[in-house]
Amino acid sequence: MLVQSLSLPDAVARFGSDLPLPGRGATLQRWRVLADVAAQDLSLIKLFEGHADAVAILAELGGPPPSPGSLWGTWCAEPPDARLLFVARSGGFDVHLTGTKAWCSGAAQVTHAVVSGWNPNGEPCVAAVALKDPSVQITDRGWHAVGMAETRSVDVRFEQTPATQLGGSNAYVHRPGFWHGGAGIAACWWGGAAGIGRMTRRFVGQRDDPHAKAHLGAIDAALTAGAAVLREAAGWIDANPNADAQPCAMRVRAVVEDAANRVLHHAGRATGAGPLCRDARFARAMADLPVYLRQSHAERDLAALGGLLSDTGDALWAL
């Protein structure tokens, strides 16, 4: 599948309507689409995955289906200095939203968003909100990175903005699909790394350079390992759609993050400075992927994964 030079509306129109929901028997097909888009444009996949995740959340929590032509974001990061308060109200909408959401990818492009926040009892909640409401202020603050610059992940202010709450408190994180979506991010990381690997292979070509060939071999090994774990995880999710997928998701994220970092390391050493300075697409991908990978929490995620393994027994690592 070739996914070059697509905008977010193009990507949603082309792939969104037929994209399977996770855990419904075609999770690997879903992840292949995400990986293919990511291989071409990491900023685009960040936005497209946000739309796809919002569609899945709406379906899982009984929200209204997205209207034709709508573009959705999923804004559920919870930094301590940016919080939304959910206050119940009467009328056609469930809640008012007041406060700031940070890291709002595609804020200037999307029409709606699934946003996380907190009710007055301090319980986490999520809601669907239309961004055309005049009480929504899309700022130009919060993003200075070169990598993933095209996502324009800025702060968004809400001031008593009407929204529809999705499920009860804690529904967002307690649904089985929460970790299905978390694992799907790894498919995006893998796709970005695969795109870098393919470009590296083209740059290196048929050069009679044993060092370049060694770097390509390392890239192949890393991507093959990541793909194997993604396929296994997708199969497990489809076979166990209502089970706790946290260990599965955290494991696949750890493996793919490691594979992507290996690809970044070997791609730069294989190509040298030329493509990094003279090929815009390669340079952008090499800048984008490290920023996207920081959606992982590094050692904190590894520690959490290790904590989940204490009662699993020796059969965990049987071949």
pLDDT of the residue at 205: 84
- The pairing of strands 136-138 and 154-165 is antiparallel
Q: What is the pLDDT along the chain (319 residues), one digit of tens a residue?
A: 545 568 999 999 999 888 999 999 999 999 999 999 999 999 999 999 999 999 999 999 999 889 999 999 999 999 888 999 999 987 656 999 999 999 999 999 999 999 999 999 999 999 999 999 999 999 998 888 899 999 999 999 999 999 999 999 999 999 999 999 999 999 999 999 999 999 999 999 878 899 999 999 999 999 999 999 999 999 999 999 999 999 999 999 999 999 999 999 999 999 999 999 999 999 999 999 999 999 999 999 999 999 998 776 667 888 8
> Which one, of 43, 44, 48, 42, lies nearest residue 196 by Cα?
42
Contacts of 274 (CB under 8 A, 6+ apart): 203
pLDDT of the residue at 92: 57
Name the residue type at position 211. Answer: H
**Which of helix, strand or coil describes residue 229?**
helix
285, 196 Cβ separation under 8 angstroms: yes
HSE at residue 1, side-chain half, CA atoms within 13 A, is 17
pLDDT of the residue at 6: 80
